[in-house]
Structure 1
Amino acid sequence: MDFDTLQAIVDDLADRLQRSVAVDDTSIRLVASSRHFGEEDELRSSSILNREVPGEVVERILGVGIADWTEPGWVEEVDLGVTRRLCVPVRYQGLSLGFLWLIEWAGHPIPTEDVDRAVVAAQQAGVLLYRGRLMRERLRNRHEAVLRELVSSDEAARAQAVEDLRAEQVFPEHPQPYQVLAVRTTTLASTTTGDPELQLAVQEASGRLPSGTVMVVAGPARAWLLLAGAEPWSDLRIASLRQHISERLGGGGSGDADVTFGLGDVVTELDDLHVSYRQALMAARAADLVSSFSPFARWTDLGPYQLLLRMTSSDIAAVSSVPALQALEAADHHGILLESLECFLDHAGDVRRAAGVLFVHRATFYQRLRRIEEVTGCDLGSGSDRLMLHLALKIRALAPGARPLDR
């Protein structure tokens, strides 16, 4: 988009009306603003300083229905510190692209002729914002295609993708940290279409971040983000990005995750990004299938699942139906024996530690172990039996419809 031309439209209107003018995008993020004429309120000052408006204010303003407006209207939220202001929809060919704002203050009402001038300016801004959107979409589609090649199994295609990104100066020539964050909706487990909102959520989240730090490949069922920068992303920064995506998908305030995330390891060369990509996908799959990982799993924290997640779904289904576990599940209606067995194996057969984790007396725990041996026919003193049961339990957690267990 030609920001200079948009700024000129805003400045020209402000000079003619002798009042400040601002243009926001559809998310109430500031795109352009004029100098002030003394009428600015707390919201306008915050918008200019922080380049965004607090979420609760955005929600209230959009709640008025301005996204559907086709004619100018008035917005006033006194309890939020929002002075009465004129909202002029910025649209092009019926598409909502943003809003042009004029603040009205005591002693300086906005006359009808000024509203008409603002409408003309909004129409001019709409043409520019539409052109800018087309350019961004073309560039995003181009970069998505390159990123898909960057993580493909074809080494030649990956090399060409690196060359293309370097030629476009998207990333520097020297090594720097790169990492992949994978995202998948819980609907992926039950449908092939997934959640169409996922694409919008990740694109909106990445659009809030500085250029050159995030690139996105998004489909209706899953997406992944390339995280870049001079330093590896901090836990806080990644958590903020995840929160924004979750909230956009409507899962930020519920106890059950509507979306799960997986984070691959950091690599320092674009040529190696496919490694972090595959790690992130498997970590996101673990977060979706294993309750203790949900809603966010790091590849480095997966333990044995780093190996088990490489199995195909059919292999997992076959291996998870071990007769010993089937017998135990049939006899264990409340899951107590299964939980005790996994805790025992996770703690390398240390009864004292396992009993402490489950808050039961050691004598009770020993009774459970004897019952497990009776039902399964396995000897928990045998290394091979322990290995078989431990692997089967971990694989079982990955099987569709499995009873939720810890790691």
Structure 2
Amino acid sequence: MSIDELQLLVDDLAGRLRRSVAIDDPSIRLLASSRHFGDEDSLRVASILNRAVHEEVSRPLLALGIGTWIKPGSARPDVPGSEKRLCVPVRCKSLLLGFLWLIDSEENPLTESDVEMAEDTASRAGIVLYERLLRHERSNARRESILRNLVSSTPEVRTQAVEDVVTDQLFAPRPMLYQVIAAQRDTAHSVEASDDIAVQVAMQEALDTLPTGAGLMVADKSRAWILLAFENIPTPQQLKRVTERADYRFRQLSGRDSRFVLGVGDTVNELGAVYRAYRSATAAVRAALLVPSLGDVARWGHLGPYDVLLRLSRDEIIGATQVSPVKALEAADKQQVLTTTLGAFFDNACDIRRTADLLRIHRATLYQRLKRIEQITGCSFDNGDDRLSLHLGLKMKSIAEAHDSSIG
């Protein structure tokens, strides 16, 4: 089916109802609209002229939860001069593919029969859009395969993928810089399949914030990543716009407490090095999942000690914790008082006053605890290497515990 069939459905419903009809995509960007019957308001006219509504309008509409609706409902845009609307979700196989809108004014209210006809049209529109989605996915299959090969662990596969990128003209032939942004939702707290769809839609729409041809996406259930191509080094503002859009759309579509994190990798100057950008981006995602204090957007190269520690595998990290002096401290400190004190001491740059204030204890008590830590671990705070061993031991301990509780 072609998109023209969507227009035919809209025109048919409009003719039967003698009302203007519009269908938007899930981001409230116009896909098809009918002619007017004198019922249009300023918002409908602006939508047709701009092919979308401003974010000041779409944000509160989406905040109503229309992305999770399975039945028609009323929505009133917070725009002067706009009328109440009937919003009919356009779905197929449980996928949200758009919204069908009818203006429902007090002067000309919709009847039950009108709503039923709108539901029927939305159902048929869902089939049209679903088939278009399938065609789009088939056309993307080769590109996605090439991208997966581009980050393969096998050098020969990567070399062939670079040739395929050039042959298929996936990016401009001139020299480019490449950046990978990876995303993952925390599956430890949510197993909803719809959240996986939210990840994919969020990343695709984040990609759409850039000029056409600037990037490609790979999605795999709860994970996705995009490869971006720039002529110049991407600015922090450009990358922030992409990550903020992805985060915003995921939270709109998920409607749950599922945690969604993003990782920004290194910038590389050739296709053959994209696998390095990919690995650093996925490592940044791993850091964000394992260490919540880093925030929901982590950038490789800005993770402090985790830039180094997360180069180790899970088994290597757990193995290192077994020989760390912190292991002895953990065994002797059943209430975790000394371990908490040590963490606060390092987090405050070994400043006695700030640490004591944070823990709400007397400085003499802090000195006693630090002395006890030295006795248990055999380390001295006057020795730089001993301090480093204790600090790294704490960091590896937190990562190992996060592995066990989250994704281990």
Residue 4 of structure 1, CA deviation: 5.2
Distance, in Å, in 2 between the alignment partners of 1:122 and 1:183 is: 32
Does the alignment pair 1:133 with 2:133? Answer: yes
Match of 2:61 in 1: 57
The match for 1:243 among 227, 242, 248 is 248
* Contact 1:176/1:268 (8 A) holds in 2: yes
Residue 219 of structure 1, CA deviation: 2.4
Distance, in Å, in 2 between the alignment partners of 1:372 and 1:111 is: 76
List aligned pairs for 1:163-182, cutoff 5 A. Answer: 163-182=163-182
* Contact 2:321/2:397 (8 A) holds in 1: yes
* Contact 2:22/2:32 (8 A) holds in 1: yes
* Contact 2:75/2:86 (8 A) holds in 1: no
Moved more, 52-61 or 389-398: 52-61
Does the alignment pair 1:206 with 2:211? Answer: no
Match of 1:142 in 2: 142
The one-letter amino acid paired with 1:205 is A
List aligned pairs for 1:370-389, cutoff 5 A. Answer: 370-389=371-390
Residue 373 of structure 1, CA deviation: 1.0
Residue 121 of structure 1, CA deviation: 7.2
Closer/same/farther in 2, CA of residues 177 and 32 from structure 1, 3 Å limit: farther
Residue 56 of structure 1, CA deviation: 3.6
Report the TM-score when normalising by structure 1: 0.75
Match of 1:234 in 2: 239
The one-letter amino acid paired with 2:370 is L
Match of 1:158 in 2: 158
State the SS of the aligned residue for 1:338. Answer: helix
The one-letter amino acid paired with 2:265 is G
Moved more, 35-44 or 310-319: 35-44
Residue 326 of structure 1, CA deviation: 2.7
List aligned pairs for 1:16-55, cutoff 5 A. Answer: 19-25=19-25, 28-41=28-41, 43-45=43-45, 47-48=47-48, 49=50, 51-52=52-53, 54-55=58-59
Distance, in Å, in 2 between the alignment partners of 1:292 and 1:61 is: 29
Match of 2:330 in 1: 329
Closer/same/farther in 2, CA of residues 198 and 228 from structure 1, 3 Å limit: farther
Residue 165 of structure 1, CA deviation: 3.3
The one-letter amino acid paired with 1:325 is V
Alignment coverage as a number of residue pairs: 391
State the SS of the aligned residue for 2:146. Answer: helix
The one-letter amino acid paired with 1:341 is L
Distance, in Å, in 1 between the alignment partners of 2:343 and 2:107 is: 74
Distance, in Å, in 1 between the alignment partners of 2:65 and 2:344 is: 51
State the SS of the aligned residue for 1:225. Answer: strand
Q: Deviations over 1:304-333 (max 9, x none)?
A: 222221222222212112363233224435
Distance, in Å, in 1 between the alignment partners of 2:142 and 2:260 is: 27
Moved more, 229-238 or 85-94: 85-94
Distance, in Å, in 1 between the alignment partners of 2:65 and 2:303 is: 43
State the SS of the aligned residue for 2:293. Answer: coil
Closer/same/farther in 2, CA of residues 61 and 195 from structure 1, 3 Å limit: closer
Distance, in Å, in 2 between the alignment partners of 1:111 and 1:196 is: 35
Closer/same/farther in 2, CA of residues 361 and 265 from structure 1, 3 Å limit: farther
Residue 200 of structure 1, CA deviation: 0.5
Any stretches of 5+ residues in structure 1 without a counterpart?
70-74
State the SS of the aligned residue for 1:218. Answer: strand
The one-letter amino acid paired with 1:206 is M
* Contact 2:87/2:101 (8 A) holds in 1: yes
Moved more, 193-202 or 383-392: 193-202
The one-letter amino acid paired with 1:369 is L
Distance, in Å, in 2 between the alignment partners of 1:167 and 1:228 is: 17
Closer/same/farther in 2, CA of residues 64 and 119 from structure 1, 3 Å limit: closer
Distance, in Å, in 2 between the alignment partners of 1:115 and 1:325 is: 66
The one-letter amino acid paired with 2:196 is Q
Q: What is the percentage of aligned positions where both structures have the same residue?
A: 43
RMSD over aligned CA atoms reads 4.3
Closer/same/farther in 2, CA of residues 343 and 402 from structure 1, 3 Å limit: farther
List aligned pairs for 1:336-355, cutoff 5 A. Answer: 336-345=337-346
Closer/same/farther in 2, CA of residues 373 and 46 from structure 1, 3 Å limit: farther
Closer/same/farther in 2, CA of residues 274 and 132 from structure 1, 3 Å limit: same
Residue 151 of structure 1, CA deviation: 1.0
Closer/same/farther in 2, CA of residues 99 and 148 from structure 1, 3 Å limit: same
Closer/same/farther in 2, CA of residues 197 and 181 from structure 1, 3 Å limit: farther
* Contact 1:397/1:403 (8 A) holds in 2: no
Distance, in Å, in 1 between the alignment partners of 2:313 and 2:62 is: 45
Q: Deviations over 1:148-169 (max 9, x none)?
A: 1111122332233233334444
The one-letter amino acid paired with 1:129 is L
Distance, in Å, in 1 between the alignment partners of 2:388 and 2:119 is: 73
Distance, in Å, in 2 between the alignment partners of 1:348 and 1:114 is: 68
Distance, in Å, in 1 between the alignment partners of 2:168 and 2:270 is: 16
* Contact 2:71/2:88 (8 A) holds in 1: no
Closer/same/farther in 2, CA of residues 369 and 110 from structure 1, 3 Å limit: closer
The one-letter amino acid paired with 1:395 is M
Does the alignment pair 1:186 with 2:186? Answer: yes
Report the TM-score when normalising by structure 2: 0.75
Match of 1:271 in 2: 272
Residue 297 of structure 1, CA deviation: 1.9
Closer/same/farther in 2, CA of residues 15 and 397 from structure 1, 3 Å limit: same
Does the alignment pair 1:394 with 2:399? Answer: no
* Contact 1:20/1:33 (8 A) holds in 2: yes
